[in-house]
Amino acid sequence: MSHPDDETGDVLRRHLRIVEALLFASTQPLRAAELVPYLGEGVDVDGLLVVLQRQYEGRGVNLVRRGEGWAFRTAEDLGFLLRREEHETRPLSRAALETLSIIAYHQPSTRAEIEEVRGVATGKGTLDLLMEAGWVRMRGRRRTPGRPVTYGTTEAFLDHFGLEQLSDLPGLDELKGSGLLSGRLPHDLQIPLPFDGALRDDEDPLDPSDMGDTELDDQEN
């Protein structure tokens, strides 16, 4: 006759194996809610993720959190081993890097607000490029005249730059030292607390026709 503790341990191990398999098979970070259908209601998915994360500490692959999602990633100290396998990609232009940095630190931001910080116009192509990369998304529309589109970062942005959450973003001095912000930006530029929630009180939801179309934003600014 099996002991209740043994049965509990077997269930835990089975659940951990399921979570492990799903995360390994996914190319994108998965949220706890996305794992529930495979485990059943009432299962402490968050607890399972924490247990699995501890099991992978110190190994060549770690379980990391990216926003609300979780994913297996190569341990940071072993990343150099995979660099030879990376495909050469065209680096982002300075305009794109500055725009991405401003959105990351000032989100939600409109195109006009980005231009105010940079001091120069931001072309439609720059925002398109960042959205095609999956790092920037349209969040909503600001409740101001013209109802301009607001932009924010994505979980793919956190994943690409190895951040668990926006609060892990480097400070202003580190940002300038890395070349992501140029010297022409205001010397007294302040870094606010970025907001990456659903919508703020001063934002309205996007219309279905807005998705994937930044031309509307161009016409309104």
Give pLDDT tens digits for 4-22.
455 678 889 999 999 999 9
Instruction: For the chain, give the mean pLDDT.
Output: 80
Contact 158, 114 (CB under 8 A): no
**Domain residue ranges in the chain:** 4-80, 94-220
CATH of domain 4-80: 1.10.10.10
- Residue 4 class from Cβ within 10 Å (0-12 exposed, 13-18 middle, 19+ buried)? exposed
Residues 6+ apart with CB under 8 A from 23: 30, 52, 63, 70, 71, 72
The values of phi and psi at residue 116, to 5°, are -65, -40
- The candidate with the shortest Cα–Cα distance to 148, out of 99, 88, 221, 197, is 221
pLDDT of residue 49: 96
Topology match between the domains 4-80 and 94-220: yes
Q: What is the mean pLDDT of residues 107-121?
A: 88
Contact 135, 102 (CB under 8 A): no
94-220 fold: Arc Repressor Mutant, subunit A (1.10.10)
Gap between the Cα atoms of 144 and 112, Å rounded: 12
Gap between the Cα atoms of 22 and 36, Å rounded: 11
pLDDT of residue 74: 86
Cis amide linkage into residue 108, ω under 30° from 0: yes
pLDDT of residue 194: 67
pLDDT over 70 at 197, yes or no: yes
Report for 80-84, 105-109, 174-178: range of highest mean pLDDT: 105-109
Strands 149-153 and 109-110: antiparallel
pLDDT band per the 50, 70, 90 thresholds, residue 106? confident
Chain position carrying tokens 């956190």: 158
Residues 6+ apart with CB under 8 A from 63: 23, 49, 52, 53, 56, 70, 71, 72
Contact 204, 110 (CB under 8 A): no
Q: For the segment 79-97, what is each residue's pLDDT rounded down to a tens digit?
A: 666 554 444 455 778 888 8
pLDDT over 80 at 105, yes or no: yes
Q: Cα torsion at 220, 206, 149, 200 (round to 10°)?
A: 130
pLDDT of residue 82: 59
